[in-house]
Structure 1
Amino acid sequence: MRNLEFREQLHEYAHWREQLIQAIDMYRDWRTRYRFSDPQSTDTLLNILQGLQNDRVTLAFVAEFSRGKTELINALFFAETGVRLLPSSPGRTTMSPTELFWDEKGGSYIRLLNIESRLEDISLMDYKRNPDRWTQIDLNCDSPTQMQEAFKELIATKRISREMADKLGLWNEREAAEQGIINPESVEVPCWRHALISFPHPLLKEGLCILDTPGLNALGTEPELTLSMLPSAQAIVFVLAADTGVTKSDLEMWKSHVCSSRAGSRRQGLAVVMNKIDSMWDDLIGEVGYDAAIRKQIETSASILNLDRNVVFPVSAKQALLAKVKGDEALLRKSRLDLLENYLSDDILDQRRDILKGVVEKEIGFLVSESAKLMEAKISNASKQLDEFKQMDFENQEMTGKLMAETRDRQNAYMANVENFQASRKVFAVQAKMLIDSFSRERIDDIIKRTRHDMSKSLTTYGMKQNMRKLFDELRDLLQDSVDMTEETRRLIKAIHKKFQDEYGFKEIEPQLFSIKQYQFELEQIFEEGEAFRTSARTTMTEQSIVVNKLYSTLIAKARNILQQAQKDAVTWSNSVLTPLMHQIKDHKKQIESRLVMLRKINESKGSVAESIAQLESELAPLEQQQRELLTIIKAMHLDVKPG
């Protein structure tokens, strides 16, 4: 599959996403227009819309030095520029982790974060929120040559003292000794810690984001890359060199930083590229021997990495780039890039589509289902009342009076039970507040502050391990405390719903129940990721305070975000869980009042029976129109939501 087809696939995906955004926006308007909206549901819909609008398909490319990773990125995405856009010449390799995307508001630029920023206890995410901390070079998108020149900063290095390199976590005495370097006065390091590149390439404008991570050293000293950025990517492309196969450092990177980002079911979205297959060509063995050698290397690599051989792609990025620039179809076929492009176009984009659908269904599927069931209940009640009026003998004044008395009794009983409902809601509010307070920032920060203070006393690997465990044990206990409160709150909600279903025949709408299982799972996953990172060979060898501090800070930030999300979700849930019942209560009240008004009119003047029936019929038609509009919107969402 050619790059043009990948672009078309990405365009199709972006079009699907835009249609989904439009459908959700139509649904939000529908709720407002027909008075179904409330502040909580509106916020939920606006949040999901913002998330979809900011959605990016992130592909992370991971490899040791000199595997041809940047050349592969050039071949896959930027060949139409006619130049080697990102620097990837022999001996000139990307030194800083680099993100490529399109920032419509910021325009075309390259932003560079200086390497000394590693001394500050500030996360990359926080730096990204503050453009002033970056060195910016504006890009001229009409001049690939100017962009080429600007991108040379990605390979820029400088020499600093060994002591400073040590503080920055960029000096490893054991590795240096293996290379024959003993007590050097200065050390060569990258100029930049991180790079952000924005320009309006068609693929980037469609939402593609590329993460280029250079070497084990960068991953081994930047926990945020391994523990946050790689796991959030839709796909990780791990690049090997075909002539060397899986080296010791490749395997260390794979085990410590790639596999941990794709644990369990998340092994989806993982591909291995065996690059530089052109280096395996041998005139003496010919085409047949060449193919056999490639197959053997694929099988060996797949076996070592414990991976399905179908996601190991032999490629010559160098040949592919040259072929695309020259328009040489035969050379492009020889480069074997098409299978990798197929994988990115079909599997990865389909996976991303499924993930987004899952997120939308999780966030607003309940709202849509509730709306459909409420509309069905409205139409059913209106139809039932219409049929009842058509069949009644309103000539009999005694019967009319009896019906009015029964309706008034229903109204009085309804008002009494509404008071009971309000009392139940107050009890629920108290219970919900206890649940919300269990995730309070004060409680979380108190735990973090205490464990961090203990950590400051010991920066050894053992001390780090003990304090990490202490932190996560206390956070686990915090979550566990909310389990009983959650169960009590769930029982209360079910009881309130059941009361109104049994006593008034309300439409059965299964209440959305809050659960903390997902947050517990995510917290455990962070702990496991942290342990894997901490025990990796690179981290064990460096054992430097800056790496330890950044690991701890990264874990803290992730854990805090999860617990803050738990609190936010608990607030949203507690504010909205009774809303469907309130809608039915309001409709029930309106139905009783309307019935009383009609019976009163009929009792006063027999000639108004036909008028009342006509009024009921006129009220039914708009409800049916509302339902048709809703069903059309649900269909446009392409979600697995059962209407009514």
Structure 2
Amino acid sequence: MGTSFNEQFDQHGAWRREFALRLKLLSEWLKDHDLLDAAIEERLKRLESQVRSDKVMVAFVAEFSRGKSELINSIFFAGYKRRIMPASAGRTTMCPTELGYDAEVPPCLRLLPIETRLQPQPLMEWRLAPEKWTRVDLDVNDSAQLAQAFEKVSEVRRVSKDEARALGFWHDDTPEDNPLPAPDGTIEIPKWRHALINIAHPLLKQGLVILDTPGLNAIGAEPELTVNLIPQAHAVVFILAADTGVTKSDLAIWKDHLITDTEDGASHLVVLNKIDTMWDSLSTPTQVQAQIDRQRSTSAEVLGVARDRVIPVSAQKGLVAKVNNDAQLLAASQLPVLEKALSEGVMGQRQRILRGAIATNITELRTEAARALNIRRRDLAEQMIELKGLRGKNTSVIRHMRLRIEQEQRDFDVSGAKIHAVRSVHLKLLREVFNLLGTATMKKEMQELTDQLRQPGIKIGVRRAYSLTFDRLREGLRKAQTTSGEIQSMLTGTFRQLNAEYGFSLQPPKEPEFARYERDLDVVERSHSQYLGVGNALRLAQPEFADRLVRALATRLRVVYESALGEVELWNKAAAAQLDAQLRERRRNFTRRIEAIERIQQAASGLDDRIGEIQSQEASIDELEAKLGELTGHLLAPPAALAAEGAQPELQRA
């Protein structure tokens, strides 16, 4: 069936490790040859962080009893030769559960009590308060202990209707969606609000994050899950049961929480699970397959997706087949078909995005380093012309040359005041951009939205309130783009003037493009607009629920704005570092020219020696340029080539 998801993820991990190693070698080489200015160093740090911390999140979404946890077991945990996630009858995931790996945290299961819903903090803030979570240590080498610990995510508790109502599990206005009360009137609710599992599973260590979500009631009651975690997943696996097809609650999850108007076919897969329930000994294999095909076509039609995005599997038989090494049963379960779709869709897409971002950064880094080498080359060429012009000249001419260089140096030192004035104007304009994208601006917008949502009767116009907020946010990004355009024009004019007056080769770095952050806002707005439908009107009428939704929005927006600010900071550093580097090189150049004149004055042979040194230095720059091209070329190599080279001995530092 081709490369499975697990195998492709292994390859992706190997590529990331090899890339990080080569990036470190490039950094050390640049430092050894005095080419590591502040902008290049910042770009290297960001690249290393991006590659090392790159995560791939796969969200598994389904109504209760669709075999979701069993599917996770069969794809990711079959190596344990038993069930790890609770998937037996009466045991199912009751709270959103994230499985990942953080080397700084010991293997453990952390559980956030459901009562935290009564407090205003968003989930992101609770993550930063580990003492508020119940922690269970895990032994990754003991599969029985793991399975027993993971059963805690299926724990429930019974509460009064009032408490269930306060926690978002009982709604007087929609009685048909409420759970059945026990004879004593109590309501069964999840014991935990969220679970984080940290284990050193090979795939999790390489950056995979698995999000296991419970049914419709729990999804709808947790805005941060719906508007943040699921939309940001790189792939969503939506699971149906083959024997029931698309039920009313399945369709509600799909329409309200998953489908968008810009649906990416490669990132959303529909799994028609439990096809083994159709394996009927009274029907021929052909008849069974015809039944499965009909259910597949019907499900695709109801959900509005292409038929090839609906994949029939038997997670339970797939797990049994893997545990027992039964190739025939594994093929019948069709689990490899799903794994292939995940590997080609999710991993292929993720690698393309990451490689695209890396290629842009490596190319810009190479350009910046090459510019520094060109400045050195140009300075050597000027010195060569100067020195060759001294051949056969007497001491008075040489002395006059020294006086001229010293005067040039004094004139150049005066330029510092002009450059300082330019930087002052530059920083003033930059502060405007930082203010437009800063925390204070976003807090003000979120407070205004909260105030609007708290107004009586606003619920009919809740979409409009959100729409106006996003319009203002977009307008802020456009103002930031206009201001950055003014800064870019000023830099271009100033750099041109400095190039003319002092022979610099300054080139303004590429201006930040805020249009992509506008597109990010569009995505965030769509995920929230989807949540503001009629189905949630009653929830939105509750002030505490509306507040929770706004806090979830603020968490998501913070990521967008921090990325935009990061790009502005890098742009600023690139401009400043370029200017600093050329000022530094020019001062060194003056020092070298005066030293050369002194040597020529002291010995007749000094002139030819210095010309020979310059020729040698020019040859060294050629070698440095070639090595820079080689080292950055390795980083731009496709993953397969990089991984293959990784088996060879490490690069020698030049």
Alignment TM-score, normalising by the size of structure 2: 0.87
| 8 Å Cα contact 1:468/1:552 also seen in 2 | no
Q: What residue number does 1:244 align with?
A: 244
What is the CA-CA distance between 1:578 and the residue it aligns to?
2.8
- Give the structure 1 partner of residue 369 of structure 2: 371
| Percent identity of equivalent pairs | 30
1: CA distance, partners of 2:346 / 2:453:
41
Structure 1 residue 154 displacement after superposition: 1.7
Counterpart of 2:191 in structure 1 is 191
Change (3 A) 1:56 1:557: closer
Alignment of 1:410-489 (within 5 A): 411=409, 414-415=412-413, 417=415, 419-458=417-456, 461-462=459-460, 464-489=462-487
| C-alpha distance in 1 between matches for 2:315 and 2:129 | 36
- Equivalent of 1:498 in 493, 496, 499: 496
Question: Does residue 202 of structure 2 align to residue 205 of structure 1?
Answer: no
| TM-fit CA distance, 1:371 | 0.8
Which of 556, 573, 581 is the aligned partner of 2:554?
556
- What are the Cα deviations for residues 113-171 of structure 1, in whole angstroms up to 9, with x where unaligned? 11111111111121112211111122233332222222222222221111111111111
Contact 1:370 1:509 in 2 (8 A): no
Mapped partners of 1:75, 1:259: distance in 2: 26
> Do the aligned residues in 2 keep the contact of 1:172 with 1:542 (CA within 8 Å)?
no
Indicate if the aligned counterparts of 1:252 and 1:537 stay in contact, CA closer than 8 A.
no
Residue 314 of structure 1 corresponds to which residue in structure 2?
A: 312
SS at match of 2:391: coil
Structure 1 position 72 matched with structure 2 position 59 = no
Per the alignment, residue 291 of structure 1 pairs with: 289
Answer whether contact 1:62 1:213 (CA < 8 A) is retained.
yes
Distance in 1, Cα, partners of 2:497 & 2:97: 58
Residue deviations 1:483-516 (CA, integer Å, cap 9, x gap): 4322211111111222344455544645221333
Unaligned 5+ segments in structure 2 are 639-654
Aligned partners of 1:538, 1:441: CA distance in 2, in Å? 29
How far residue 362 of structure 1 moved from its aligned partner, in angstroms, is 5.1
Alignment of 1:377-396 (within 5 A): 377-379=375-377, 381-382=379-380, 385-386=383-384, 388=385, 392=389, 394-396=391-393
Aligned to 2:115: 116
Structure 2 counterpart of 1:276: 274
What's the secondary structure of 1:577's corresponding residue? Answer: helix
In structure 1, the residue matched to 2:609 is: 611
Residues 356, 483 of structure 1: CA spacing in aligned structure 2 closer, same or farther, 3 A cutoff?
closer
Aligned to 2:104: 105
* Paired residues, number: 636
- Superposed CA offset, 1:43-83 (max 9, x none): 44334433433333221111111111111111111112222
- Asked whether the equivalents of residues 68 and 276 of structure 1 are also in contact (C-alpha less than 8 Å), the reply is yes
State the Cα distance separating 1:272 from its structure 2 match. Answer: 1.6
Partner Cα distance (2:75, 2:275) in 1: 16
Alignment counterpart, residue 358 of structure 1, candidates 356, 359, 382 = 356
In 1, Cα distance between equivalents of 2:245 and 2:263: 26
C-alpha spacing 1:159/1:183, structure 2 compared with 1 (3 Å):
closer
**In the alignment, is the contact (CA less than 8 A) between 2:539 and 2:545 conserved in 1?**
no
Q: Indicate the SS of the match to 1:194.
A: strand
Structure 2 residue identity aligned to 1:107? P
Residue in 1 that maps onto 2:648: none
CA distance in 2 between partners of 1:362 and 1:121 (Å): 41
Q: Select 2:581's aligned residue among 569, 583, 587.
A: 583
SS at match of 1:87: coil
Could you tell me which amino acid in structure 1 is paired with residue 392 of structure 2? E
Per-residue deviation, 1:364: 5.9
Q: Distance in 2 between matches of 1:243 and 1:597?
A: 88
Asked if the contact 1:486/1:515 (under 8 Å) is kept, the reply is no
Q: Which residue of 2 aligns with 1:131?
A: 130
The answer to which of 347-356 and 459-468 deviates more is 459-468
1:84 matched to 2:91? The reply is: no
Q: Which moved more, 1:576-585 or 1:403-412?
A: 403-412
Aligned-partner SS, 2:305: coil
Instruction: Give the corresponding residue for 1:519.
Output: 517
Aligned to 1:147: 146
The aligned residue for residue 264 of structure 1 is 262
Greater mean deviation of Cα atoms: 178-187 or 571-580: 178-187
The residue aligned with 1:566 is 564
Q: Which residue number in structure 2 is paired with residue 305 of structure 1? A: 303
Distance 1:154 1:270, change over 3 A: same
* Residue identity opposite 2:353 in structure 1: I
Cα drift, residue 276 of structure 1: 1.2
Residues 407, 596 of structure 1: 8 Å contact kept: yes
Distance 1:144 1:443, change over 3 A: closer
Q: CA 1:542/1:68 → structure 2, altered by over 3 Å: closer, same or farther?
A: farther
Question: 1:296 deviation in Å?
Answer: 3.1
Per-residue deviation, 1:442: 3.0
Matched residue SS, 2:60: strand
In structure 1, how many angstroms separate the alpha carbons of the residues matched to 2:201 and 2:181? 46
Contact 1:459–1:545 at 8 Å: present in 2 too? no
Deviations 1:174-206 (A, max 9, x none): 654478959983211111111111222222223
- What SS is found at the alignment partner of 1:214? coil
AA partner of residue 94 (structure 2):
M
Task: Tell me if structure 1 keeps the 8 A contact 2:452–2:458.
Answer: no
Contact 2:300 2:306 (C-alpha < 8 Å) held by counterparts: yes
Alpha-carbon distance change, 384 to 248 in structure 1, aligned in 2, over 3 angstroms: farther
Partner of 1:337: 335
Structure 1 pair 57–435 and aligned structure 2 pair: CA distance change class (3 A) = closer
Paired position in structure 2 for 1:255: 255
1:54 maps to: 53
What TM-score does the superposition give when structure 1 sets the normalisation length? 0.89
The answer (yes or no) to whether the contact 1:158–1:188 under 8 Å persists in 2 is yes
| More divergent stretch after superposition (377-386 vs 543-552) | 377-386
Amino acid at match of 1:10: F
Q: Give the secondary structure class of the aligned counterpart of 2:157.
A: strand
Deviations 1:366-421 (A, max 9, x none): 333211232244335535754x4786571144986786677567656645555433
How far apart, CA to CA, are the structure 1 residues paired with 2:480 and 2:316?
A: 56
In the aligned structure 1, how far is the partner of 2:169 from the partner of 2:10? Answer: 41
Is the 2:266–2:345 Cα contact (8 Å) retained in structure 1? no
Any conservation in 1 of the 2:405–2:594 contact (CA below 8 Å)? Answer: yes
Matching residue's letter, 1:168: L
Corresponding residue number in structure 1 for 2:217: 217
How far apart are residue 2 of structure 1 and its match? 8.8
d(CA) in 2 for partners of 1:468 and 1:105? 38
Q: Is the 8 A contact 1:168 1:546 kept in 2?
A: no
Instruction: Note the C-alpha offset of 1:336.
Output: 0.7
Deviation string for 1:539-589 (max 9, x for gaps)? 657754443221121112323443344345434432432322332343244
Deviation at 1:240, TM superposition (A): 1.5
Whether the aligned pair in 1 keeps the contact of 2:450 and 2:547 (CA below 8 Å) is no
Q: Check whether the contact 2:375–2:585 (CA below 8 A) recurs between aligned residues.
A: no
Matches of 2:85 and 2:239 in 1, distance apart?
17
Distance 2:186 2:103 in 1: 41
On the 8 A contact 1:394/1:602 being kept in 2, the answer is no
